[in-house]
Amino acid sequence: MCGIIGRVGDGNALEPLLTGLENLEYRGYDSAGVAVQNGSGINVEKRSGKVEELKSSIGDPLQGEVGIGHTRWSTHGPPTDANAHPHTDESEDVAVVHNGIIENYTELKERLAANGYEFTSDTDTEVIPHLVQYYLDAGYDSERAFRQAIDELEGSYAVTAMVSGEHVLYAARRGSPLVVGMEDGEYFLASDVPAFLEYTDSVIYLEDGDVVVVDADGVEFTDLEGNPVVREPETVEWDPEQAGKGEYDHFMLKEIHEQPTSLSQAIEGRIDSAGGRIALADFEPGTFADIDSVQFVACGTSYHAALYGSLALNQAGVQSTALLANEYSVSAPPIDDDTLVIAVTQSGETADTLTALRQAAREGADTLTLTNVVGSTAAREADDALFIRAGPEIGVAATKTFSSQAVMLTLLAQRIAADLRGEPPADLEALLPELESMPAAIDDVLAESAATTIARRYRNSEAYFFIGRGLGYPVALEGALKFKEITYEHAEGFASGELKHGPLALVTPETPVFAIFTGEEDEKTLKNAEEAQTRGAPVIAVCPDDHPAVAVADDHLSIPDTEPDLAGLIANVQLQLVSYHAADLLDRPIDKPRNLAKSVTVE
């Protein structure tokens, strides 16, 4: 949701802090700020707007070896200078950055105000530095004051704080991510690894309830009561260059073009097409033999990948359903010991998905997480984890992670079905070679796509509809989501047959319809597309060159002829490109769409 960066080490902290904020801006870009120990106290610079505006507002460089920074996605209070982090007490002896929601902030604020502490912002965060100062005024040392303040917070949080005159950072987490980075006497605290990937690949992930004290001598991990806890370092396999835009104008375009690589990484060592088998190292044959039903929980783009996986399982003869994680508490189907709940979350930190995962575990389900982030909360809390290996994704609009999620869920569906039946599904032998060739097929699509022309031709339309059947349906939903979130134009996705049950009333000559053909009951999707076409809507067929829809449609986006299980995922690349080029023509802030953040860590 918001991005936190902290740094302790030799030399000036400002440059790594600003680098960290730029790397974390996908987590929020309503406002940004830094606080640095400058030798005579804490110096704070913050303002509404993006990190580049903060950088341009800093006059004389802030000096100091210790500092914290924050880039904000607004929850409590609008994006103003006053509401930007870091927040301090009145004397600026304590500075704090925070991600999450303090649910009892009103009660704490009233108590502190009654004791003479004055507030200058609308945020829940501001209670934290005042609360730390309250205990400092009561005679507590800094570490004890921080611990006492944290102990009184209710809700979710990742907090990093510093106290004037001390070469120390204090941090704690509950429900929001924090990770420590370490390299030759330089230490970082951040919401996510890309914040400091240029400086180190050695990391330690905090767990809920951890309190960390970081100084020039190292990092100390304890629980809230001060009892030591052991957290082992890990090496992150991401390449620092993956966190940059390289030759591309936007992260989103770069990440669209990275899909052949990310998919190759996802399937590497996991399929044996010659032997007709799936090899998931952590899941021996028979792992899923006792599962009666599967529930997927996810949000946003990950939900569309989950729906893809659920439909693939149903087609393989396994009872499955995909549920929105934020609705799970009120709409979850019955769970028993033979239920497998799969949480799909790119970051592994999505608050709604974590809540659903924990509910499922409490009710006795086996749990599995599909995620991109080793060491994430979801990966640690689930019984098992399967990683998509997509590498860092910086653009707020997910692209390569969706493809990798859907491919891995396709493999997982085949594997679960094989365990339950005692033999591989009949179509596995045909699927695996096509899956191996999928990265090359996407390379061809990227090289030859007509998406720029299509985006330009329909740029002034009133609305955009996307339709698909079977495994094309979640792709239609995802295509519409991509389009609306980065163009700000109205777009909707429908199951093909649903178009005539209401949405057809919205169809006009100014509402192009993108029809996705997967090779599965395509004649029905074509009929639905023609129904829109007879009402004046232009139809753009996403299908192979020799498909019958090409002769009927007004325009065509080409995909290779492949297995129905995979055709929609290649079609999705064409739709990503259309969305990107449409947004570019409209001069939208493609990597940072308004009101959105990459990782939603509050419910």
Which is nearest to 49 in space by CA: 23, 20, 74?
74
Pairwise CA distance, residues 247 & 254, whole Å: 8
Active-site residue, from 46, 109, 592, 598: 598
**C-alpha distances in angstroms, 584 versus 398, 466, 594?**
17, 20, 15
Ramachandran quadrant class, 73 (left: phi over 0; alpha: psi -120 to 50; beta: rest):
beta
What is the number of H-type helices and E-type strands within the chain?
19, 26
Name beta bridge partners: 465.
492, 513
Place of tokens 């093909």: 496
501 alpha carbon, distance to own chain's centre: 33
Pairwise CA distance, residues 405 & 71, whole Å: 28
Residue 137 C-beta-side C-alpha neighbours within 13 Å: 15
Q: 3-class SS at 404?
A: helix
Burial 572-601 (b: 16+ CB within 10 A, else e): bbbbbbbbbbbbbeeebebbbbeebbbbbb
- Cβ of 207: how many Cβ atoms within 10 Å? 17
327 alpha carbon, distance to own chain's centre: 18
600: its two tokens: 């939603």
Omega cis (within 30) before 86:
yes
For 566-577, the DSSP string reads HHHHHHHHHHHH
Name beta bridge partners: 204.
180
478: its two tokens: 């995802």
- Judge whether 297 and 356 are in contact, CB under 8 Å: yes
Please indicate whether residue 299 is annotated as part of the active site.
no
- Judge whether 514 and 578 are in contact, CB under 8 Å: yes
Pairwise CA distance, residues 18 & 52, whole Å: 9
132 Cβ partners below 8 Å, 6+ apart?
Answer: 89, 94, 96, 142, 145, 146, 149, 161, 163
Which is nearest to 212 in space by CA: 165, 152, 168?
168
Q: 3-class SS at 419?
A: helix
Active-site residue, from 2, 109, 543, 592: 2
Active site members: 2, 598
